[in-house]
Amino acid sequence: MTPQAERVLRDYRTAGATKFHGINQSVRNALADKTRFPDSFWTTHQTVLEAYLAASERHDALYHESMLGSKVVIAERVTSQAKLVVLMDEVASFLELAALRTPEILIVSGFRLAKERRAHTRSKATATTQTVQEEVKNSIPA
């Protein structure tokens, strides 16, 4: 059986404001780090990266301002978060595609990754169940 490729866990879609801000900050810091992702990596998707980084900066400012409780600023933050989710989906898709050749990319991306699950074979469980059923049949007096 071939090992599964790692995937980005897209839990930021349903995260609350504080959790989303934390995820966004870790992704933004990782993507902005030129030692992890050089400019040559983003040549084909430079506009997506620039749009994401700009939207992330705006969201960070709105997040901290919304802590004061202004309903207008909170509404702006919610709108900003929705736009960021779309941009993060684009970035995550690009990184997953690039990870087919270089799997380490996802590890340093700042995104949380889905854990691989081992598949349990049902043949062992079925054989054990059959053995138990035969023992029960044999123990019942006729």
User: What pLDDT shows up at residue 2?
Assistant: 39
The residue extents of the domains of the chain are: 11-139
Task: Say if residue 134's pLDDT is above 80.
Answer: no
Please count the other Cβ atoms lying within 10 Å of the Cβ belonging to residue 83.
Answer: 14
pLDDT, position 94: 87
The pLDDT value given to residue 78: 92
> How do residues 10-25 score in pLDDT, each as one tens digit?
888 888 889 999 999 9
Cα(25)–Cα(51) distance, integer angstroms: 15
Residue 132: the pLDDT is 61
pLDDT in tens, 53-110: 999 999 999 999 998 888 999 999 999 999 999 999 998 888 888 888 887 888 888 8
Q: Is 1 helix (H, G, I), strand (E, B) or coil?
A: coil
Q: Which amino acid is at 142?
A: A
Question: Which of residues 8 and 65 earns the better pLDDT score?
Answer: 65
Name the nearest CA neighbour of 7 among 137, 109, 127, 106. 106
DSSP string across 50-89? HHHHHHHHHHHHHHHHHTT--HHHHHHHHHHHHHHHHHHH
Residue 29 reports pLDDT greater than 60: yes
Report the range of poorest mean pLDDT among 40-44, 51-55, 126-130. 126-130
